[in-house]
Amino acid sequence: MNAGPPHPDPARVEDVPGHANLVIVANRLPVDQVTAPDGSLTWRRSPGGLVSALEPVMRSHDGAWIGWPGVESAEPDGDPFQVDGLTLVPINLNAAEIEGFYEGFSNGTLWPLYHDLVAKPEFHREWWEAYVEVNQRFAVKTAEVAAPDATVWVHDYQLQLVPAMLRELRPDLQIGFFLHIPFPPTELFGQLPWRRQLLEGLLGADLVGFQLSGGAHNFVRLVKQRVGHHTEGNSVHLPDGRVSRAAAFPISIDVGAFQALAESPSVIARAAEIRVALGNPKQVLLGIDRLDYTKGIYPRLRAYSELLAEGHFNVTDTVFVQVATPSRERVEQYRLLRDDVDRLVGRINGDLGQIGSPAIAYLHSSYPQHEMAALYLAADIMVVTPYRDGMNLVAKEYVACRLDNDGALVLSEFAGAAAEFRQAWQVNPYDIDGMKAAILAAVQSPPEERARRMAAMRRYLHGNDVSHWAASFLAAL
C-alpha cells in the first residue's frame, strides 16, 4: 500500500492535462480509511466485486477512480493518490454536503422512491440543491482527470446528473452510466419534482445500464413521456443527433474469488468452528444483509419465529443466524429500523429461546470476506427476502461458495437475482405464510433436489461473473 492522499494542491490539476483513459466515477472510493500501527491514518482497499472486476482494465488503460473516501472533511479535495497501484481521486464531502446530498437526497429521497416506496421518500428542495452541487463537483473533477476521448463509467443513483454535466464540459468522452439499484415504475418516478432533470442527466450517457430489462423499458418510456424525445426500441434520439441507448446488464460477483475462499482450509475450519459455537445444531439458517428497510429482515424473522412457535423447528437443533451490517446510521429511517429489529429479536429470543439455545443469533456487525465465506459454508439454508433489491449479491455469494452443491437458497422474487436464479425457492416477502411454506419446503427437500437446484444456479453463475458483466458493458459502450 502506498501513502494516503498527499496535501491538497489545487493548482496542480489545472496544469496537467488529464491522462486517464478509463475513469470510474462512483460515490465511494473502493478503499476504507484505517489506522496504521503507528497511529497514522491510511487507506486499505475495500473488498468488492466492482473493483476486482475493473482492476485489470483500469491497469491496462491508465485508469482512475473518482469518489468520496467516506469520511467528513471540510478540506479542499486532495490530489490523486495510489493504493495497490490503483489511482484514486478523492472528492471530499463536508458536513452540509453529507447531510443534503448523501443522507438527504440520495438516501432519504431516491433510495426509498426507487425501492417501491418501502419507506416514505421525503422531497426537500435544499436536498436537491445539494445533490446538484455535489454532482457538479464530480463532473468537474472527472473532466479534469479524463484523457482526450477517454471512456468514463458513472455508477449509481447518487450521481445521475453527472453524465449530462460531464458531456457539457467534455463532449469528446464516451460516457456510460450504470444504475445498481432498481429503476422504479413510471408512476412512482413521476412523483419526483425533479424527474425531468434526472432523466436529462442520465441522457448525457451514450449507454445507460440497468440490472433488469424492465428498468431500461421504464426509463425509455419516461424519456418519451416526460422529455418528449423520439425513441425507437431502447434507443433515444436526442435533438443534437446523438443516440443514447438503454439496456440491461445484470451485475455479478467475483465467482473465482469466492470459490477460492470456500476451498481454503482456514475458511473450511472456521465454518466447522462456527457450527460448534452454535451448539452443533442439525440445521443452520442464515441471513446476511446491510441493515436496510428494503431487505425484509423483519418479516423474515417473523416467519421463522412462527415456524418455531408452531413446533416445526426446535431451538435445540435449529438456529437462525442473522447478520445485519450497520448502514447509514444517521438517517432516521435506519435508526427506526434498528430499534424495530432489536425489539423483535429480543422478543423472539425471550419467548422461544432456551438457556444456551437462542432462537436467533443476531450480529449487528460487518465481517471480512473470509468470515462471510465461512458463514456461507456453515449454513444449510440461506434466506434472502428483500422487499425490493436491484440484484442482491449475497445470494450469488452463497451459491458461489456451495462447492458441493448442497445447501438451499430461499429468495425473494423481488430481488434482481430472482430473474437468474429460477431454481431458488422463490418467495413473496409480503406473504408471511408463503415464506413459512418456502422455508419449510427448502429445509425438508431431499438432498438430490437441493443438489439439482444448486448445480443449475452454479452453472449459470460460472458463465456470468462480474468480469463478464464489466466486459459486456464496456464492449457495448
> Using CB under 6 A as the criterion, which residues of the chain lie in contact with ligand G6P when the complex forms?
27-28, 156, 180-181, 327-328
Minimum CB distance to ligand G6P, residue 28 (Å):
5
Q: Between residues 18 and 67, which has the closer beta carbon with respect to ligand G6P?
A: 67
Minimum CB distance to ligand G6P, residue 393 (Å):
8
Q: Between residues 112 and 407, which has the closer beta carbon with respect to ligand G6P?
A: 112
Q: Are 364 and 340 in contact (CB under 8 A)?
A: no
First to last CA, the chain: 32
Q: Between residues 341 and 359, which has the closer beta carbon with respect to ligand G6P?
A: 341
Minimum CB distance to ligand G6P, residue 355 (Å):
37
Residue 399, C-alpha cell as written in the block: 451459491
Minimum CB distance to ligand G6P, residue 331 (Å):
9
d(CA 237, CA 192): 24
d(CA 473, CA 467): 10
**Burial 152-167, CB ≥16 within 10 A → b, else e:** bbbbbbbbbbbbbbbb
Minimum CB distance to ligand G6P, residue 281 (Å):
31
- Cα-to-chain-centroid distance, residue 309: 34
d(CA 297, CA 360): 12
Measured CA to CA in angstroms, residue 264 lies from 25, 45, 257, 258, 378 at distances of: 34, 21, 11, 10, 14
Burial class from Cβ neighbours inside 10 Å (0-12, 13-18, 19+) for residue 109 reads buried
Minimum CB distance to ligand G6P, residue 139 (Å):
18
Burial class from Cβ neighbours inside 10 Å (0-12, 13-18, 19+) for residue 176 reads buried
Q: Between residues 245 and 328, which has the closer beta carbon with respect to ligand G6P?
A: 328
Beta strand spans in 11-141 (E): 20-28, 31-35, 41-45, 63-68, 81-83, 86-90
Q: Between residues 274 and 417, which has the closer beta carbon with respect to ligand G6P?
A: 417
Q: Between residues 180 and 436, which has the closer beta carbon with respect to ligand G6P?
A: 180
DSSP 252-272: ---HHHHHHHHHSHHHHHHHH
d(CA 52, CA 11): 32
Minimum CB distance to ligand G6P, residue 292 (Å):
8
Q: Between residues 97 and 156, which has the closer beta carbon with respect to ligand G6P?
A: 156
Minimum CB distance to ligand G6P, residue 156 (Å):
4
Q: Between residues 174 and 325, which has the closer beta carbon with respect to ligand G6P?
A: 325
d(CA 175, CA 153): 6
Minimum CB distance to ligand G6P, residue 31 (Å):
13
Q: Between residues 29 and 439, which has the closer beta carbon with respect to ligand G6P?
A: 29
Which residue's Cβ has the minimum distance to ligand G6P?
180
Residue with cell 453529507: 98
Burial class from Cβ neighbours inside 10 Å (0-12, 13-18, 19+) for residue 345 reads buried
Q: Between residues 323 and 442, which has the closer beta carbon with respect to ligand G6P?
A: 323
